[in-house]
Structure 1
Amino acid sequence: MVSLPRVLVAAPASGSGKTMIATGLIAALRERGLAVSPHKVGPDYIDPGYHTQAAGRPGRNLDAHLVGQERLVPLLLHGAATPEPADVAIIEGVMGLFDGALGTDGFASSAHVARSTRTPVLLAVNCAAVSRSVAAVVHGFATFEPGVRVGGVILNNVASPRHEAEARRAVAATGVPVVGAIPRLPDVVVPSRHLGLIPAAERRPEALSAVAALGRMARDHLDLEAVLELARSAPELDDSPWDPVAAIASGAVGATRGEPVVAVAAGEAFTFGYAETPELLAAAGARVETFDPLRDEALPAGTAGLVLGGGFPQIHAGALTANTELRREVAAFADAGGPILAECAGMLYLLRELDGAPMCGVLPGSARMHPRLVLGYRTAVAVSDSVVADEGARVTGHEFHRTRVRHDANGSGARAWGWRDSRDEPELEGFVHGRVHASYLHTHWAGRPDAAARLVR
């Protein structure tokens, strides 16, 4: 049995202030000398970046779709034990408390994660344009689903002391305690753009200032002792931490000779990645080195494999183009048969061009920004053998982009994945080009550690 104090910050809907409150709580508790383990429900990469800044340790995701329900508690415990044991875990929810993938009755929702990990919920309620009616919302959310314990309420966007008092009196009748009330604080709002918040790594000085301001907000307006008391009321967990070495061993994909260098793209243009990816690569026998395609003119010495994750290359297309030496080296690496895994931004970087800006020219296609967002889980089947999957392998992934790829009419290579779209029509996506596997599909390798083992092998 493992004792881990923990709370999950949820809300009735998106836009209620979950990220501000969760990040502020993490920062304020760390300021008090506590080691805080930060987690995010769902596939999102951006919020964990702010959690990382606030906690001083990696923000991690808990997504039943991507990793399987059976790994939620082990991954939570792994994050809380790495790099050192945490005093408390703060989990930020996704969308509304009970909102999961459409048609799944809340699978992978915040409520699903709270129930699976036996974590009490802090409900953040947006009080803009409402006062006493907040109590009806709290009552409904506290009683809607058995097994989900709403243990505290945070009133957000409170206009005045009278407004707060009215809401507090009403919520008191529900029996759920109010553990804080946050006034309207436009000065600590984190900037956003077309895919949500701007990643912390793209605005590091401002991100640090924003995190510090959110920490002060939590310290000044939340009852931190009440939050910790609720966290300590979470029951012990009867499970063991996830172990990347054991996960790799269970795949039985064959031994790796030596310690090949796997270079992982990082920096402002490649901010999307799960903390478990380099852990699995290392467990599979690789030496993981990071590089910045915006600034580094060469791959790390001895690079034997490349992982190009997600991010916003379209925002930095000019700088990526200007780094001619690295683009040439990446192209030469691919031409020589070097294994490459590229997801979303990584795929865009390997195309001939992105919004007219020359990229690496490894893949026969180009991409343009598009007004419509593509967003959602995908159950995919590998349609070709590649460096990360056998043909016929089934995976669950996630798409999140506003670009569209146009394949060259005379381009060689095969597609990476196939799935059924929302109209149940077959769709083929991505590239398998030589030893390059490139796709829009984001996958979480804790759910498919064989991909890391296969790439390293």
Structure 2
Amino acid sequence: MAAIGRGLMIAAARSGAGKTMLTIGLQRALTRSGLIISGAKAGPDYIDPGFHAVATGRSSINLDGFAFDPATLLAMAAQAARGTDLVVAEGAMGLYDGLSADDRGGASASVAAALGWPVILVLDAAGSAQSVAAVAHGLANFPGAPAIAGAIVNRVASPRHRRMIQAGFARIAIPLLGAVPVDERLAMPSRHLGLVQACEDAELGARIEAMADVVAEHCDLAAIAAAGGVTQDAALPKLRLRPPGQRIAIARDDAFAFLYPHLVTAWRQAGAELVWFSPLADQSPPQECDACWLPGGYPELHLGRLAANRGFLDGLRNFAATRPVHGECGGYMVLGRTLEDANGQTHAMAGLLPVDTSFARRKLHLGYRRATWRRDVGFARRGETSWGHEYHHSTLVETDDATLADMADGESNPLPPAGHAIGLVTGTYFHTIA
């Protein structure tokens, strides 16, 4: 197959090393240098690709090593690389963190290795010096390691600290491609599911420019750009992600923003028309549509407004009387009877599913999932299995028995059934990827 572009993966030893900030800064700095850059995210992250898109001016995609089979993963990478000089992808968690299974475990290392993309390590230097190089050496020599093209060391405290770090890297074969000091410009506001969404930050453009300034000053941009590995052309297999309707009403605003770009692409390629509406603007699903999709997001931050938007809620109920409606995570909660905010105040929701949820009684639910549907759900038939994930802090406090799907975790361990179906309305915490 022909080479169509190059790519590399920015990864770290652990979460919290500054990987996202440096990825965004690097994407913008390389774009400013005249290169055509696109972004990608390893794993099921909705938020980071939004920042990549602002930094590069191009849509970013998810490269999920669990939900995508190898052929689809290669084709998605090829799709990202077309028309670009370099794909700068961001890893998830630590480089080797994923399911215990070696095949389709989802770790950033396995994604990079499958694509033939070298890794640039982001390493946090806080509290250490020469030992940072030892961490890099260990990551590079772990069994099954992808190619390590170099390292960027973050949170360097002083010139003396930088010299000590350089002395450590002089003893190993991994190039030190950047030594980035502690800098308040490498920070962005965050909340319980990660960074505040790109669409909510009015100052994001200026923040990213400042990040790019820091990266350009302290990293070897030319060496980083030259480190990319070849991306092979590959045709995208037909994604078995049937659209839930021919003309789909999709909620999209600050409360409902978690929708994968590849899902939108697959539905459009299948001939569906997507019609957007905003519950926060008190818009109801357009009546000319034949299905409605409520994605996840942050409805818990807008509960008073959503509960007061009678046009949205009444229109949603009227729509659901004759046409299918599906909600994922945040959308699932809004389809329920009530939603309790973090302060203990209860807000009435659509009342279309027998579900009461709470953010006052918080518990983290996180991980890959496999859902085998007990009934047709528009995008999948009864008995089919979808691959995806769950990530939320809310708790089901009152509910009827879950009947929508039989669930298993990413390693096929059985979990309790999940989701609900009443008439034409379905919903679950499960986010579908493939």
Residue 30 (1) aligns with residue 31 (2): yes
Selected match of 2:327 from 317, 339, 342: 342
Instruction: Compute the displacement of 1:317 (Å).
Output: 1.0
Instruction: Compute the displacement of 1:427 (Å).
Output: 0.5
Instruction: Compute the displacement of 1:68 (Å).
Output: 2.1
Instruction: Compute the displacement of 1:393 (Å).
Output: 1.3
Residue 351 (1) aligns with residue 336 (2): yes
Q: Is the 8 A contact 1:66 1:443 kept in 2?
A: no
What is residue 427 of structure 1 aligned with on the other side? 416
Q: Report 1:231-250 matches (<5 A).
A: 231=228, 234-237=229-232, 239-242=233-236, 246-247=238-239
Q: Aligned partners of 1:318 and 1:57: how far apart in 2?
A: 35
What is residue 209 of structure 2 aligned with on the other side? 212
RMSD: 2.3
Letter in 1 for 2:353: L
Q: Aligned partners of 2:415 and 2:23: how far apart in 1?
A: 39
Q: Is the 8 A contact 1:341 1:388 kept in 2?
A: no
What is residue 453 of structure 1 aligned with on the other side? none
Which secondary structure does the structure 2 equivalent of 1:67 belong to? coil
Q: Report 1:36-185 matches (<5 A).
A: 36-81=37-82, 85-102=83-100, 104=102, 107-146=105-144, 148-185=146-183
Selected match of 2:250 from 253, 264, 267: 264
1:64/1:407 CA distance change after superposition, 3 Å = same
Instruction: Compute the displacement of 1:125 (Å).
Output: 0.7
Q: Is the 8 A contact 2:78 2:231 kept in 1?
A: no
Instruction: Compute the displacement of 1:37 (Å).
Output: 1.3
What is residue 281 of structure 1 aligned with on the other side? 267
Q: Aligned partners of 1:192 and 1:7: how far apart in 2?
A: 26
Residue 387 (1) aligns with residue 378 (2): yes
Q: Aligned partners of 1:8 and 1:131: how far apart in 2?
A: 24
Letter in 2 for 1:235: V
What is residue 396 of structure 1 aligned with on the other side? 387
Which secondary structure does the structure 2 equivalent of 1:130 belong to? coil
Instruction: Compute the displacement of 1:194 (Å).
Output: 1.6
Residue 317 (1) aligns with residue 303 (2): yes
Letter in 2 for 1:419: M
Aligned length, in residue pairs:
426
Which secondary structure does the structure 2 equivalent of 1:94 belong to? strand
Q: Is the 8 A contact 1:49 1:59 kept in 2?
A: yes
Which secondary structure does the structure 2 equivalent of 1:216 belong to? helix
Q: Is the 8 A contact 1:432 1:438 kept in 2?
A: yes
Q: Aligned partners of 2:18 and 2:35: how far apart in 1?
A: 23
Bigger shift: 36-45 or 142-151? 142-151
Give CA deviations for 1:142-163 in whole Å, capped at 9, x if unaligned: 1113451111110100000111
Q: Aligned partners of 1:210 and 1:322: how far apart in 2?
A: 34
Which secondary structure does the structure 2 equivalent of 1:398 belong to? strand
Point out the structure with the larger helix share. Answer: 1
Give CA deviations for 1:55-82 in whole Å, capped at 9, x if unaligned: 122221111212223311100111233x
Which secondary structure does the structure 2 equivalent of 1:366 belong to? strand
Give CA deviations for 1:354-387 in whole Å, capped at 9, x if unaligned: 1111222221222111322000111221122332
Q: Aligned partners of 1:16 and 1:399: how far apart in 2?
A: 24
Which secondary structure does the structure 2 equivalent of 1:298 belong to? coil
Q: Is the 8 A contact 1:387 1:437 kept in 2?
A: no
Letter in 2 for 1:128: A
Q: Is the 8 A contact 1:159 1:184 kept in 2?
A: yes
Q: Aligned partners of 1:166 and 1:426: how far apart in 2?
A: 49
Q: Is the 8 A contact 1:153 1:179 kept in 2?
A: yes
1:423/1:64 CA distance change after superposition, 3 Å = closer
Gapped regions of structure 2 (runs ≥ 5): 341-345
Q: Aligned partners of 1:434 and 1:168: how far apart in 2?
A: 64
Q: Is the 8 A contact 1:98 1:106 kept in 2?
A: no
Q: Is the 8 A contact 2:282 2:310 kept in 1?
A: no
Residue 293 (1) aligns with residue 291 (2): no
Q: Aligned partners of 1:29 and 1:208: how far apart in 2?
A: 15
Q: Aligned partners of 2:7 and 2:119: how far apart in 1?
A: 9
Which secondary structure does the structure 2 equivalent of 1:107 belong to? coil
Instruction: Compute the displacement of 1:235 (Å).
Output: 3.2
What is residue 451 of structure 1 aligned with on the other side? none
Instruction: Compute the displacement of 1:139 (Å).
Output: 1.1
Q: Is the 8 A contact 1:340 1:387 kept in 2?
A: no
1:382/1:206 CA distance change after superposition, 3 Å = same
1:155/1:319 CA distance change after superposition, 3 Å = same
1:194/1:428 CA distance change after superposition, 3 Å = same
Letter in 2 for 1:280: A
1:425/1:138 CA distance change after superposition, 3 Å = closer
Which secondary structure does the structure 2 equivalent of 1:89 belong to? strand
Instruction: Compute the displacement of 1:190 (Å).
Output: 1.3
Instruction: Compute the displacement of 1:408 (Å).
Output: 4.5
Which secondary structure does the structure 1 equivalent of 2:394 belong to? strand
Q: Is the 8 A contact 1:387 1:436 kept in 2?
A: no
Instruction: Compute the displacement of 1:425 (Å).
Output: 5.7
Q: Aligned partners of 2:7 and 2:399: how far apart in 1?
A: 51
Selected match of 1:416 from 394, 400, 404: 404
Instruction: Compute the displacement of 1:328 (Å).
Output: 0.6
Q: Aligned partners of 2:413 and 2:116: how far apart in 1?
A: 36
1:227/1:171 CA distance change after superposition, 3 Å = same
Which secondary structure does the structure 2 equivalent of 1:201 belong to? helix
What is residue 357 of structure 2 aligned with on the other side? 367
TM-score by length of 2: 0.92
Instruction: Compute the displacement of 1:106 (Å).
Output: 8.0
Q: Aligned partners of 2:412 and 2:42: how far apart in 1?
A: 27
Q: Is the 8 A contact 1:64 1:72 kept in 2?
A: yes
Which secondary structure does the structure 2 equivalent of 1:64 belong to? coil
Which secondary structure does the structure 1 equivalent of 2:263 belong to? helix
1:425/1:301 CA distance change after superposition, 3 Å = closer
Instruction: Compute the displacement of 1:350 (Å).
Output: 1.1
Letter in 2 for 1:415: T
Q: Aligned partners of 1:34 and 1:193: how far apart in 2?
A: 33
Give CA deviations for 1:277-303 in whole Å, capped at 9, x if unaligned: 221221222211212210142333512
